[in-house]
Homo-oligomer: A and B are copies of this chain.
Amino acid sequence: MKRIPYLQKAPSIHLRKQTMKNTFLFSLLFISFITQAQLNLIQYVKPIIGTEKMGHTYPGATVPFGAVQLSPETDTISYEINGKYNGDVYKYCAGYKYEDKTIVGFSHTHLSGTGHSDLGDFLIMPTQGKLQLNPGTAINPKSGYRSTYSHANEVAEAGYYKVKLDDDNILAEMTATTRVGMHQYTFPKSDESHIILDLMAGIYNYDEKDVWTYVRVVNDTLITGYRQTNGWARTRTVYFAMSFSKPFTQYGQKNYDDKQAYRGFWRKFDQTKNFPEIAGKKIRMYFDFKTEEAEKIKIKFALSSVSQENALENMQAEIKDWDFEKVKAQAQTSWNKELNKIAITAADDIKVNFYTAMYHTFINPTVYNDINGEYKGLDQNIHNANGFTNYSTFSLWDTYRALHPFFNIIQPSRNNDMVKSMLAHYDQSALHMLPIWSHYSNDNWCMSGYHSVSVIADAIIKGVFNGDENQALEACITTANHRNYEGIGYYIDLGYIPAEKLPKS
């Protein structure tokens, strides 16, 4: 039986844990710690769970704590209608809604389980026949590039997603590494096969969200660029490198920006077709192929917070060839390894509940540095994660009570790095605050309190944090003394926050 590290190191904590022995989780930990042989536990993971109604999970492919979450969108509705909040957008926090009958495409970034949203970057959709660059509507999917699909033709596993797109009879498959999404599309024979890259699609999207987009077509298989948005994360840029397994025959784009008075000298070019340098706010691109019957076209799509070059380096480091099955197997092995940290004896339906929940606990936070260690910090400067892995996506008011304490037991090394990531965030903070909700080189400031302090204190007390405890203490004290943040001043003075002063009290 493998023991959890901090229990080996910190017997006093071990004693405290004994007082918890009646709890379900604790019993599991002690009853069922894993043996050396890896059980096949990913069979119990059903990523489709939680995708209906307000579950806000996504069914697509990611690896544990992966920076890429490659998953289908079943609609990309606007955050606003006539300048007012569109309540329906809330249903699409994770991009996918089980009840929907169409798929718009597959994008590379998703939040799991949140009650607010963002992301949905770089939506890719394969089509055939007449090129359509608008997504069309759910009621009339033929009016755009979206497609009907059926759950009968859909497979969602840990690290793998597959669906048949009925409109053009294209099989879509996807898997991922930490920083790279891999697509595999099996086309019917056609002289008019397309792969659409929608650079203006997004989750919680609205007119002003697309701040800037830049794309370089480096050659007939490689595209790089970035997308810059102003959303939940206020100042956010995601760089990408996209590689096709087969050269496209031609490509083009349409710019959906509002017309502006100044047009500059780029107007001398026909930028709509085979023009290799593209920029604007709202851009959709397409790449054309001739396909044989059942021909597979694969895409590697890598992300970086730092640069196009880093995205390309991430791609080259993490997926060296075009073996989709190998990448899928690696992704699933990595999931199985994580899930094997706890073995339970139970009926299969309980195992499905348990391991799918465990799967969900290992999706966020997400790795937020490139393969070379670089990442864009909260100060919008480039930093190097020296001696730790940098994480983002800290929804701390959700995670301080159970997730991070659980990580102290089951993911101590990662939780150590998460605390270090929080301290780096603090060092980079113009407000001198630990993260409230760390989100792609931003704090999105969602919610009150200072729950990172609980996470840090817990990691220190349990011996998981191996960094500078005094530095951590200073960050905690400074954060906890921000009188003007969400009623902290009242709390310091009165011991409570008066409800009449602050609704969130």
Contacts and interface: CB of A to CB of B under 8 A. Distances in A.
Interface in A200-225: 204, 206-209, 211-212, 214, 216-218
A80 interface: yes
A15 interface: no
Contact of A232 (B209, B264, B277): B264
A13 interface: no
Interface stretch (A40-48, A69-77, A379-387, A452-460): A379-387
A144 interface: no
A308 B260 contact: no
Interface in A473-498: 486
A234 B264 contact: yes
B261 A80 contact: yes
A395 to B, nearest CB: 12
Main secondary structure of the interface of A (DSSP, over half): loop
A505 interface: no
Contacts of A83: 261
A399 interface: no
A264 to B, nearest CB: 6
Interface residues of A, number: 50
Contacts of A265: 232, 437, 444-447
Contact of A430 (B209, B217, B260, B446): B217
A66 interface: no
Contact of A212 (B84, B85, B235, B444): B235
A501 interface: no
Contacts of A260: 206-208
A242 to B, nearest CB: 14
Contact of A307 (B85, B382, B447): B382
A336 interface: no
A257 to B, nearest CB: 8
Given A83-B261, A85-B261, A268 B486 contact: yes
Taken together, the copies of this chain in the complex come to 2
A292 interface: no
Contact of A262 (B80, B216, B379): B80
Contacts of A308: 379-381
A276 B482 CA distance: 14
Contacts of A32: none
Interface string A124-154: 0000000000000000000000000000000
A192 interface: no
A262 B309 contact: no
A50 interface: no
Contacts of A445: 264-266, 268-269
A283 to B, nearest CB: 12
B216 A430 contact: yes
A279 interface: yes
A236 to B, nearest CB: 10
A60 interface: no
A84 B261 contact: yes
Given A211-B211, A266-B445, 20 more contacts: A79-B262, A84-B261, A85-B261, A208-B260, A208-B262, A211-B212, A212-B212, A212-B230, A216-B380, A218-B430, A226-B380, A232-B264, A232-B265, A265-B437, A265-B444, A269-B445, A276-B430, A277-B430, A308-B379, A308-B381
